[in-house]
Structure 1
Amino acid sequence: MSETASQSRARLRRSARLAAVQALYQMELTGAGASEVTRQFRAHHFGHAGEPGEYIEADEDFFEDLLAGMVKAQDEVDAGIRETLKSGWRLSRLDATLRAILRAGGYELLVRTDVPVGTVINEYVDIANAFYDGPEPGFINASLENFARKVRPGEVRTAQ
């Protein structure tokens, strides 16, 4: 059975989200800017049918929006994420991968209102599961859900 257009779009966006988390991590560790990292990913990570090498297929425009948009909205995203942390915790106390996941997810929740809250949270919890075997995916879920309650209160279902 072949993939529908909707399934293809979801798959390409899923790859773009993972790449954005990796790129945000890279930017934090190296100090490189969003445009430089975007060029690197377009040249060395993303591929198209028939190209040699091990490339990933992703929605490159969505990736670029996530990366550039997160940089522009970082102060607002970080402030919102800080509000979800336990009293006394600082964002800098989290490891760089967790920060990258929270920032990418926070950006989507804040700005990409075309993407449903549940989709954003589920996608970033799945990414957290790719990196962590412990409680971190649950932490990502709770943090992004709390963030969503603040920025999109009408879209978040409350637990019964």
Structure 2
Amino acid sequence: MTTTITRRLAREWAVQMLTAIDLNRAADIENVVADFWEQLSTLDADDGGLEGARVKSRMKEFANERVLGVMGSVVEIDAELTPLMDHWDITRLGTVERAVLRLGAWELKNTDIPCGVVINEAVDLVNWFSSPRSRALINGVLDKYAKKVR
């Protein structure tokens, strides 16, 4: 698997975990993450050998870093994103849109991944998990955020 494909899949997993955490706010973040990996491992019949295990380990680390990073700074991220959403509040968004925005904002602020890559990945993720109508919102807010933090 190429790095692009594995990172894309890891981001999909991160969005799924962030959405689960958002839907069950009383849940312990560490437990949600552990449960996610346990459920995913039961679905994964093909272990891919040693190389497959290495790739999966890197993907898991990539996803975990994002989930724990977002949740560790979610109040700050929400406070920074809300003013960038004209006449909207982040709490009014769907859970998937919130997860994707938070993930994109965290990556823009905490990684050296090019802005265009982060924004395109976020737009693709919201298109995949939600509605194509959400693409413009995600693109616009993350573009404004990128100009602010980079």
Gaps of 5+ in 2: 50-55
Q: Which amino acid aligns with 2:120?
A: N
| Displacement after TM superposition at 1:115 (Å) | 1.2
Match of 1:147 among 141, 145, 148: 145
- Inter-partner Cα distance in structure 2 for 1:12 and 1:40: 21
- Inter-partner Cα distance in structure 2 for 1:124 and 1:42: 22
Q: How does 1:10-89 map to 2 (within 5 A)?
A: 10-31=4-25, 32-46=27-41, 47=44, 48-49=47-48, 59-87=59-87, 89=88
- Inter-partner Cα distance in structure 2 for 1:45 and 1:81: 31
Runs of 4+ displaced beyond 6 Å? none
Contact 1:106 1:144 survives alignment (8 Å): yes
Gaps of 5+ in 1: 51-56, 153-160
Write out per-residue CA displacement over residues 110-156 of structure 1, whole angstroms, 9 at most, x where no aligned residue: 112x211111101110011112344211111111111111111xxxx
TM-score by length of 2: 0.84
Identity of aligned residues (%): 33
Structure 1 residues 143 and 35, CA, compared in 2 at 3 Å: closer, same or farther?
same
- Inter-partner Cα distance in structure 2 for 1:105 and 1:120: 6
Computed over aligned residues only, the root mean square deviation of the Cα atoms, in angstroms, reads 1.7
Aligned length in residues? 138
Alignment-derived partner of residue 94 in structure 1: 93
Q: Secondary structure at the match of 1:86?
A: coil
Structure 1 residues 106 and 59, CA, compared in 2 at 3 Å: closer, same or farther?
same
Q: Secondary structure at the match of 1:45?
A: helix
Alignment-derived partner of residue 126 in structure 1: 124
Structure 1 residues 133 and 38, CA, compared in 2 at 3 Å: closer, same or farther?
closer
Contact 1:77 1:110 survives alignment (8 Å): no
Q: Which amino acid aligns with 2:4?
A: A
| Displacement after TM superposition at 1:80 (Å) | 1.5
Write out per-residue CA displacement over residues 9-61 of structure 1, whole angstroms, 9 at most, x where no aligned residue: 111111111111111110111222321122122222154326xxxxxx57000
- Inter-partner Cα distance in structure 2 for 1:24 and 1:49: 27
TM-score by length of 1: 0.79
- Inter-partner Cα distance in structure 1 for 2:35 and 2:149: 32
